[in-house]
Chain A
């Protein structure tokens, strides 16, 4: 039994393995806006098909300049947060007035994910990394196999299929905070309707040159009053 695992510099006696996820978070969406980055994720963590935990924070600040959002296995995300904490700590200990920006953190995460993938022992997460440093906005994504890229809007999981098309249509440079939040909420609502693992409790986080704010948890209103929903089988009994 190991207190520390094979990925620490000690012994390397592990069997080749690809694990499977147990407790998982669903989509994260991130967009650039006028003053920085906005990121949204619900607070759910599923255990297979059970919506087991409903108050899990999946968007967290990293240092002074970045925000990280994760989907996938929560235990691996918690481990990533610990590694990032250590990274930021060591950076602060230099006490040289410099601090790691989002670009650097994104690169660190990419290396972590890719190297684990090469050992057939991935961290089972898709990560969104956003931040602002010296006026420069940065938004990137890393997948569990180490695929990484930057864009004006990114999403993980279902968000790629449901949210990004909306963002491709409606995102533009210089979104205000209000417009950005409304756009994210539009995407989160669609995910709530159409993603089985979504829960109706979310947080939206904002990062600007001034700093990070993570909103309090809140729920979205949903709309069910379409005429077509009232009697959907009227024209075709037995259908659904």
Chain B
């Protein structure tokens, strides 16, 4: 009981000591520090808790502490990203949104249950497919002596390689309307 009553006096003494210590530093600090005289106690207390105790004026200490606290979170995020990059590099970074991939899979077959690993694998496989298809299309554009990769080159690649047979309906080769009509007429006469 008595000890509890003594504590605030001790703290007041500490405040007085801290006030006496301050004026030397206050001269170099801005005027805002005058308003926040009682603050240094918190800084000292906080230092006891484990945070680095810096004997600066109260406002700057708290603002610095708040900044350090605020900066801790983004630094942690950066460190995590760096660790991810160190661990797997591009292996763990997904290029497409997972939710969109899930939606596409569900649209194909809604009754199928899929695990998170599957979404990741499909994500990476799609990325690899895009890279390969782009490379093949670019080679075709180089053969054609064009600087720009166009639909025509992708259609040529899809038509020529067996691996891309499943895309034949999605990347058909463009033909002139006259030729298309001739083919239609020939098929009709052939059937008839």
Does B associate with A? no
The residues of B with any CB-CB pair to A shorter than 8 Å are none
The residues of A with any CB-CB pair to B shorter than 8 Å are none
